[in-house]
Structure 1
Amino acid sequence: MNIIETISEAMSFVFMQRAMVVGISIAFISSILGSFLVLKRYSLIGDGLAHVSFATVALALALGLSPLFVSLPLVILASILIMKLNEKASLNGDASIGLVSSFSIAIGVIIASKAKGFNTDINSYLFGSILAIDKTDSYISVIMSIIMIIIVYIFYQDLLAVTFDEEFSKVSGVNTTFINYLLSILTSITVVLGMRVLGTLLISSLIIFPTISSMQIAKSFKSLLIIGVCVAIFSMITGLIGSYVFNIPSGPSIVLTNTLVFVCFYTIGKLIKR
């Protein structure tokens, strides 16, 4: 069976179609947010919120509730808590992220051990599973992704200003506190929406990898965004197909693809500089 037939066979299944729709929408918005977060040196917030989502998933499964509906509000609250700790407790961004994420992992492990343990359900959330995406998740993910893209478009100039020079932006009249909270909340929503495809342990890679790959060859911020989006979507599609072909979890497959793309872009960037 050649590659075309393999792809056609994979895309004939409803679960793959749903995974592609959700994956592409999440890849699009996560790569855009990643451009701002990486340049602000705040990319680890995605990893921290991913750890929080692990605890919320464990709680939802223990209570027999939908992980998506439980995780969304709780992870958003965690993102606000991280920002509050930065402001009130005089903690640096990475310190507040580490504090919240470590606590969340501990709570998640306790809940999982006291409930059903680390069973198949929670493993699919840890490492991603294209079989775990249902119709409701698909609709919610696409709608939320579209809303977030519109929000980023509306506040694009303010986000750009705060990313490159927060102090000057504040002097210029930009509400930097609001913009930082907005970016944090959008990231938390992206983490929750993407945990079905990549898993809570790997979702942050979709925020970081496309941006650092595009940074190797991009000459401007707009080109950084465009290349990052293309890399994210390509890695998502290739990774999902790879997960079907080799029968492996979707998360590791997508991360591996992102890693290979980064290596290629890094090599190309070095050759261009020479």
Structure 2
Amino acid sequence: MDKLILYMQYPFVRYALIVGTLIALCSSLLGVTLVLRRFSFIGDGLSHVAFGAIAIASVCNLTNKMLLVLPVTVACAIFLLKSGQNTKIKGDASIAMISVGALAFGYLLMNVFGTSANLTGDVCSTLFGSTSILTLTAFEVWLCVILSAVSVLLFILFYNKIFAVTFDENFAKAVGTKVDTYNLLIAMVIAVIIVLAMNLVGSLLISALIIFPALSAMRIFDSFSKVTILSALISVLCALSGILISIVAGTPVGSTIVATQAVMFAICCVLGKLGGKLA
């Protein structure tokens, strides 16, 4: 406790806790929708696209990489949505194609045109989020707060529409819901969350923020609203625990958070089975 109190005096630790909490909250809300629609690995695809965009921004020596990374990732999210409706290229094939291609081109650009003296360290930090969450600036924190608030607000305002689109698109179309519009909204919000989450867990571990909380909550509840609320609570709790453990123990932030979520998933599985037996 003394060590934690000491570290809390530093602004970068407080920034990490704020950003980690917000990112965990946002990713868990739409995570339930993506898991139910069997589209969980869109996080992997978009995170690798973001990695490629970061590589391009680094080669171009852009001071604010977010100006390039965010629009590129949103554009690819829209492309994945449209291509997923194509009978020639299925959704999972599109994700795999873009994911591998962007990752390969990004690493190639960083090797050929990179100016950093520590290329291995930069790649490792981008892929696994080793130190980036602890080097956030005040501008990045405020940007995360604003984008997270917009994401949560959109989810709350269009909750009923997202619910309808998640479970039965055909019925939603039949009652006049603009399915394509809300699918586009979901894709854009997910893209924003992916870009924000890269600072927390890196591009290779982002799917864990989306998948683990939703699956953990589904072990206990079977109602969409209850699963969404519990998923958000689990995600925030694991993010805070993971960041604090990593600070005290000196472990990588992203890996610690994912390990915490894996442990929570195991606990929820046990609780779900016990609850079923009791019922």
Please report the TM-score for the alignment, with normalisation by the length of structure 1: 0.94
Question: For 1:227 and 1:10, how far apart are their aligned partners in 2?
Answer: 29
CA distance, structure 1, for counterparts of residue 169 and residue 4 of structure 2? 46
Shift of 1:90: 3.4
After superposition, what is the alpha-carbon deviation per residue over 1:79-110, rounded to whole angstroms, capped at 9, x for unaligned? 11112212346322211111111111121121
What percent of counterpart residues are identical?
34
C-alpha distance in 2 between matches for 1:57 and 1:259: 28
Q: Who is 2:41 aligned against? A: 44
Structure 2 counterpart of 1:166:
169
Q: Which residue of 1 aligns with 2:107?
A: 109
Q: Hey, what's the Cα distance between the residues in 1 that align with 2:2 and 2:36?
A: 41
The equivalent residue for 1:188 is 191
- Residues 10, 241 of structure 1: 8 Å contact kept: no
Deviations 1:120-139 (A, max 9, x none): 33322211122232111101
Match of residue 59, structure 1, among 56, 60, 63: 56
> Which stretch has the larger CA shift, 179-188 or 115-124?
115-124
Output aligned runs, 1:37-186, within 5 Å: 37-65=34-62, 66-88=64-86, 90-116=88-114, 118-128=119-129, 129=131, 130-186=133-189
TM-aligned CA deviation for residue 201 of structure 1: 1.1
Aligned residues: CA RMSD: 1.4
Deviations 1:117-164 (A, max 9, x none): 734333222111222321111010110000111111121111000101
In structure 1, list runs of 5 or more residues that go unmatched: none
Q: Distance in 1 between matches of 2:17 and 2:218?
A: 26
Separation in 1, partners of 2:84, 2:231: 28
SS at match of 1:168: helix
Output one character per residue of 1:6-33: Cα deviation in whole Å (capped at 9) or x when no partner.
3222322211100111111111111001
1:27 aligns with 2:24: yes
One-letter amino acid of the structure 1 residue matched with residue 73 of structure 2: V
CA contact (8 A) 2:200 2:253 kept: yes
Residues 216-274 of structure 1 deviation map (CA, whole Å, 9 limit, x = unaligned): 00131111011101101011101111111121221101101111100111111122222
Instruction: List alignment gaps of at least 5 residues for structure 2.
Output: none
1:36-56 Cα deviation digits (max 9, x unpaired) = 111111111111111111111
- Equivalent residue number for residue 204 of structure 2: 201
- Kindly indicate whether residue 245 of structure 2 is the aligned counterpart of residue 242 of structure 1: yes
Q: Which amino acid aligns with 1:120?
A: G
Aligned twin of 2:273: 270
